[in-house]
Copies of this chain bind each other. A is one copy, B any other.
């Protein structure tokens, strides 16, 4: 089968890597000619947010999917008209692309998400402090999001269509990944804790399974159920959640694609999120997702003050550790905050996992050199 992916980054690379155990032809589209997918797929250099480029790329494929949500949805609608299978649906991608539509979607389908106000410009802002401003379009990896705490902060408000959202008193950030195939079969991965690095605002650790109460687990399963019904689309989705200090769960946002919060499924679960998306794309029976025990992930992110040819310090020490798995993304140049790879770790207890994660983090540094 000819499978086309919009985006040629690490998510696409790990998808293709996993799916090399099946017989398919893989095609990727990315503006960077040295994108992680370029050497392992039929690669097209081009912008996935350009109508003609996406249309031409998608024509003749059996199925087109995404590994980034900022793609030209008009071209996806058009491709679907032409008989190309598009997963997930252009409708759900469009809703998720725009924070305003996304919030209205949660409201409409009774999916709990923080209180909000929609503004077209700053003059409309009328929302109790403190709050979070999320730009309607273009946000990614923490960009396009800012916290407004004080009257003074209000001067910083971006004068663009946005969502103003009440600040949740966060106990934990959680994620749940759910897969839906065309037959309507669904499977959910175990809930994962995401521990963020406050400086980079990029995910830092994952811990799976999350340490949560039965009450919290039930709320999450309710959200999953409502989301599946509301999304009405095959696909693999990562629902990012806030758990507040009163043990209540709120949806932060949803990614209609593979997600950093699922990377530890590569070795931590009977099947990975990558295997699962592959099965969704081909409408195969969904894979079992049981956890083998405790698993965690640590992002390898470019250190501050280093740019250029990447050098990984300390990897040899990491490779000596049992049940520790290094995943690099084939990116030659590092820059501060760039995701260059990750390390998955298996353990027999949460305590052992945390110790290993902290130990490994102390060993390795992503710098530049030579």
- Is A322 interfacial (CB-CB < 8 Å)? yes
Restricting to A313-347, which residues have a CB under 8 Å from any CB of B? 316, 319-320, 322-323, 325-332, 346
Cα–Cα distance between A180 and B41 once the two chains are bound (Å)? 32
- Is A119 interfacial (CB-CB < 8 Å)? no
- Is A196 interfacial (CB-CB < 8 Å)? no
Identify A17's interface contact among B17, B39, B319, B328, CB under 8 A: B17
- Is A279 interfacial (CB-CB < 8 Å)? yes
Known: A17-B17, A292-B292. A22 touches B320 (CB 8 A): no
| A328 B288 Cβ-Cβ under 8 A | no
Known: A17-B21, A20-B40, A40-B40. A288 touches B325 (CB 8 A): no
- Is A103 interfacial (CB-CB < 8 Å)? no
* Closest residue of B by beta carbon distance from A287: B319
| B13 A327 Cβ-Cβ under 8 A | no
| A22 B326 Cβ-Cβ under 8 A | yes
Identify A21's interface contact among B23, B316, B327, CB under 8 A: B327
| Most chain B CB inside 10 Å of its own CB: which residue of A17, A23, A331 | A23
| A320 B285 Cβ-Cβ under 8 A | yes
Identify A288's interface contact among B285, B288, B323, CB under 8 A: B323
Known: A40-B40, A292-B292, A316-B285. A322 touches B20 (CB 8 A): no
Cα–Cα distance between A319 and B19 once the two chains are bound (Å)? 14
- Residues on B with C-beta less than 8 A from A322 are 270, 288, 290
- Residues on B with C-beta less than 8 A from A26 are 39
- Residues on B with C-beta less than 8 A from A279 are 319
Restricting to A20-40, which residues have a CB under 8 Å from any CB of B? 20-23, 25-26, 39-40
Cα–Cα distance between A239 and B268 once the two chains are bound (Å)? 31
Identify A319's interface contact among B284, B292, B329, B346, CB under 8 A: B284
* Total identical chains: 2
> Which bucket holds chain A's interface residue count?
35 or more
- Residues on B with C-beta less than 8 A from A330 are 20, 23
| Chain B nearest Cβ from A25, distance in angstroms | 8
- Residues on B with C-beta less than 8 A from A284 are 316, 319
Cα–Cα distance between A40 and B279 once the two chains are bound (Å)? 21
Restricting to A39-71, which residues have a CB under 8 Å from any CB of B? 39-42
* Closest residue of B by beta carbon distance from A25: B39
Q: How does the 8 Å CB contact mask read for A279-318 relative to B, with 1 for contact and 0 for none?
A: 1000011011010100000000000000000100000100
Give A contacts to B, CB under 8 Å.
13, 17, 20-23, 25-26, 39-42, 270, 279, 284-285, 287-288, 290, 292, 310, 316, 319-320, 322-323, 325-332, 346
Q: What 4 additional pairs, Cβ within 8 angstroms, besides A23-B331, A39-B41?
A: A13-B20, A17-B21, A21-B326, A21-B327
